[in-house]
């Protein structure tokens, strides 16, 4: 689609040697500096995510989790699951005995943070530099200060009450009891020292020693099952990615406990419809995608868990024939009632980087909710994830809270491959919205010919409970058409998700980047 230069918007970024796209300009610059210094896409991605853990503290942190997908020409895609686990002694029964029916925002939502291990393993497997080099920008921002960006300031303000409830969080992340304003210069001296420890000692300096002991003591004091050894023993693992083919393109995702299979199920449903004939901004297109998503997410909520606890194989859930049966549940004229269980026979940062050798890194890092659990260590300044809120306390479910277990996880990096080569590294931040975001971006490009920036800019919608929350840019006629089909339409205060994309044009030898206008960031190449 040709861009109308009389309308607001921005062009894709085009470069030759390397490119990064992140949700904050300082993080994008940190990545490009690494690429220009001879680092790989993996080095640049870790540098960017570390910077984001400083400059976007509501969305991510070193106390969170991380997933990575890396494509190298001629090599199988490498995946790493950097999500943490519950304590070895965790059990749902004591909580149910107390009358608790969901983990919610309790201390039991804190799981061992997996990000630092994932960064280290990514560098060891695919990098040229060590922590001492790639953490340099993050340490500088934390120690010398950084200016607060516009969207960062908005997100910070929304969580003042949460931060004020924890002495450590209030100490490090509030200033005279308030959130900083756009343009304020902020420093995190304690976090800087913790990052220096990681730069010197590696992941061991985070999970063991004073930092690891403080994380364990901080949550133990609140009644957590987590102990020192749960932090010291943490290890992520390499994984074989999962995929499905849609219109000649393979969508690559991290396997469970990640929710990437949700996007694959959705695409397997949608390939049975002629989307190209539908208006990309019309009610028919959005109704169809909403219905496919409702089915895909129902599959997720029924089956998805830690891989060691999955009861139905991923291959069965992503089977094309089953996808066709699921497609038959959709009525193009109305919102359908779905079966209770479908069985076959938020807040995150995302980084996309491609280097001169066309190594592509798709990496996502998250605290889950804004500022995670709102629990922060007092000396080391580490905000802890609340990813365990994604566990269920239902006694007979694969995702039930239990010992040394990973919860169902929302963060999902993605790659689009064609004929064995990486066509695009991309991801969409936004908690549970992410599979919907992956599908919408792919449809925008493959069915409607949008470029990477147009595909990101396009209006979005998703549901919250029984309501479909739409962005204000959705046309009125589309909202009316969705209401006529039985959808309860409401306008959303905040936009849905945050995407970053780098596309590889192999024929012309260029990289084409797009970045989310709903955040502060940018794509930048050289």
348 in active site: yes
Q: Give CA–CA dist 267/320, Å, rounded.
A: 10
* Residue 427 is labelled as binding a ligand: no
Q: Is 454 exposed, middle or buried (0-12, 13-18, 19+ CB in 10 A)?
A: buried
What is the 3-class SS of 387-398, one letter each residue?
Answer: HHHHCECCCCCC
* Beta carbons within 8 Å of 236's beta carbon, 6+ residues apart: 80, 81, 82, 83, 114, 117, 118, 121
Distance CA 60, CA 68 (A): 15
The kind and range of the H/E element at 97 are: helix 92-97
Q: What is the CA radius of gyration of the chain?
A: 22
In 121-150, which positions are buried (b, 16+ CB within 10 angstroms) versus exposed (e)? bbbeebbebebebbbbbbbbbbbeebebbe
Determine the straight-line distance between the first and last CA of the chain, rounded to whole angstroms.
25
**Residues 111, 197, 348, 377: which is the catalytic one?**
348
Helices (H), 128-282: 131-134, 136-144, 150-157, 160-164, 167-173, 189-201, 204-207, 209-220, 228-232, 260-270
Catalytic residues: 348
Residues at the binding site for L-glutamate are 431
């Amino acid at each position: 689609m040709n861009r109308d230069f009389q309308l607001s918007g921005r062009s894709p970024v085009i470069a030759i040697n390397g490119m990064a796209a992140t949700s904050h300009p300082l993080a994008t610059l940190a990545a490009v500096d690494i690429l220009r210094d001879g680092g790989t896409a993996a080095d640049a991605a870790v540098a960017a995510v570390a910077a984001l853990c400083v400059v976007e503290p509501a969305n991510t942190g070193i106390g969170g989790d991380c997933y990575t997908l890396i494509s190298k020409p001629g090599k199988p895609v490498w995946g790493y699951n950097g999500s943490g686990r519950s304590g070895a002694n965790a059990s749902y029964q004591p909580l149910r005995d107390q009358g608790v029916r969901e983990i919610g925002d309790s201390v039991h939502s804190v799981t061992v943070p997996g990000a630092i291990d994932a960064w280290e393993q990514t560098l060891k497997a695919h990098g040229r530099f060590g922590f001492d080099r790639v953490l340099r920008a993050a340490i500088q921002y934390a120690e010398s200060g950084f200016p607060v960006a516009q969207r960062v300031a908005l997100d910070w303000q929304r969580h003042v009450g949460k931060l004020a409830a924890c002495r450590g969080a209030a100490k490090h992340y509030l200033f005279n009891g308030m959130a900083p304003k756009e343009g304020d210069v902020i420093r995190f001296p304690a976090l800087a020292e913790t990052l220096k420890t990681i730069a010197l000692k590696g992941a061991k300096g985070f999970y063991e020693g004073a930092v690891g002991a403080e994380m364990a003591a901080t949550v133990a004091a609140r009644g957590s099952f987590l102990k020192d050894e749960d932090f010291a023993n943490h290890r992520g693992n390499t994984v074989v990615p999962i995929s499905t083919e849609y219109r000649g393109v393979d969508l690559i995702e991290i396997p469970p406990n990640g929710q990437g299979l949700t996007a694959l199920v959705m695409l397997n449903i949608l390939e049975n419809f002629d989307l190209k004939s539908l208006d990309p901004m019309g009610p028919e297109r959005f109704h169809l995608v909403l219905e496919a998503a409702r089915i895909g997410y129902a599959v997720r909520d029924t089956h998805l868990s830690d891989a060691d606890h999955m009861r139905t194989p991923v291959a069965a859930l992503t089977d094309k024939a089953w996808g066709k049966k699921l497609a038959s549940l959709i009525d193009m004229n109305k919102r359908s009632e779905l079966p209770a269980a479908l069985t076959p026979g938020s807040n995150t940062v995302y980084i996309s980087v491609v280097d001169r050798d066309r190594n592509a890194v798709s990496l996502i890092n998250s605290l889950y909710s804004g500022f995670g659990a709102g629990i922060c260590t007092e000396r080391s300044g580490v905000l802890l994830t609340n990813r365990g809120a994604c566990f269920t306390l239902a006694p007979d479910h694969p995702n039930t809270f239990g010992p040394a277990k990973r919860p169902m996880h929302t963060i999902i990096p993605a790659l689009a491959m064609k004929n064995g080569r990486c066509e695009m590294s991309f991801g969409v931040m936004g908690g549970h919205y992410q599979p919907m975001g992956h599908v919408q971006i792919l449809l925008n490009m493959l069915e409607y010919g949008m470029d990477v920036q147009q595909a990101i800019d396009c209006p979005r919608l998703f549901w919250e409970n029984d309501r479909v929350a739409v962005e204000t840019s959705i046309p009125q006629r589309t909202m009316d058409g969705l209401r006529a089909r039985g959808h309860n339409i409401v306008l959303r205060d905040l936009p849905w998700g945050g995407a970053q994309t780098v596309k590889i044009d192999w024929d012309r030898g260029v990289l084409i980047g797009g970045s989310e206008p709903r955040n502060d960031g940018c794509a930048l190449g050289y």
